[in-house]
Homo-oligomer: A and B are copies of this chain.
Amino acid sequence: MEESRYAVASKLYVAVDCIIFGFDDGELKLLVFNRQLEPLKGMWSLIGSFVLANESAEAAGKRVLQEFTGLDDIFMEELKTYSEVERDPGARCISIGQYALIRLTEKNTNLAAQYGAKWFEVSKLPDLVLDHNIMVKDALHRLRNVAQFYPIGLELLPKKFTIPQLQRLYEELFQKKMDTRNFRKKLLSLNILIQLKEKDKSGSKKGAFLYEFDYTKYRKLKNKGFSFSLFKI
């Protein structure tokens, strides 16, 4: 098509905003950024960026994630676009929400802190700029939805984790206590866990066996989906 066809339409600012989840201490957390520049200095905000002329939205999201966490292999998926005319009083700007799941480490936590970013418990989030609180709500909703039909955990938990830890992730996400016997039975039946010889003794005197995900089987299950029934709806 020729450029002239397009000339009649107006161009818009296009941004990405990342809704970044982590899991630590039995708590689901979200990384938010404290603006250190005017305008809106001191306000909390999701981490985002404009989509530049020479990059895709996905690339923009990855760029921002890399910058704030130092990681370049982060799980990230598009959530939805936010395009209400008045959503940004500064200028007409649509934003593509992307949610990301990251494995918290000391290293990436420190880097984030340097950038003025902070991990908040999802249940204790401050007010965020613009429509960012809505984005978080939508992302949480999506995450719950995903976890209902697809395995979750590989991206959020440390490489080696215990079954009680995994259960806490599910309980936190769904805000429900689950039965340990049934949880264990179901998770093991999925055939995506590899039991290690080691134990993690930080949580109890007895210690809990460490597990790893079987990456290949995890991916397969994530492709086909299943019904994750751990409690009556």
Report A's interface with B, CB cutoff 8 A.
1-3, 5-6, 9-14, 39-40, 50-58, 78, 80-81, 83-85, 88-94, 96, 145, 148-149, 224-227, 229, 233
Is B1 in contact with A9, judged by CB distance below 8 angstroms? Answer: no
| A60 to chain B: closest residue by CB | B83
Can you name 6 A-B residue pairings with CB atoms under 8 Å? Answer: A1-B89, A3-B90, A56-B85, A83-B96, A226-B227, A227-B229
Flag if A53 contacts B145 (CB, 8 Å): no
Q: How far is the CA of A148 from the CA of B12 in the complex (A)?
A: 37
Which residues of chain B come closer than 8 Å to A229, judged between CB atoms?
A: 227
Give the 10 A-B CB pairs with smallest separation, nearest first: A1-B90, A227-B227, A11-B11, A9-B50, A57-B83, A56-B83, A10-B53, A6-B91, A12-B14, A1-B39
Nearest CB of B to A12, in Å: 5
Report the minimum CB–CB distance from A217 to chain B (whole Å). 14
Q: Interface residues of A: mostly helix, strand, loop or mixed?
A: loop
- A3 surroundings in chain B (CB, below 8 A): 90-91
Copies in the complex: 2
Q: Which residues of B contact A9 (CB under 8 A)?
A: 13, 50, 52
Taken together as a complex, chains A and B put the C-alpha atoms of A146 and B183 apart, in Å, by 25
CB-nearest residue of chain B relative to A35? B1
A13 to B10 Cα, complex, angstroms? 7
Find out whether the CB atom of B52 lies under 8 angstroms from the CB atom of A1: no
Given the known inter-chain contacts A85-B55, A149-B149, please indicate yes or no for A90 contacting B50, CB distance below 8 A.
no
Chain B residues within 8 Å of A2, by CB: 39, 90
Question: Once the chains are docked, how many angstroms separate the CA of A207 from the CA of B224?
Answer: 37
Q: Which residues of B contact A225 (CB under 8 A)?
A: 145, 148-149
- Contact in complex: A12, B51 (CB < 8 Å): yes
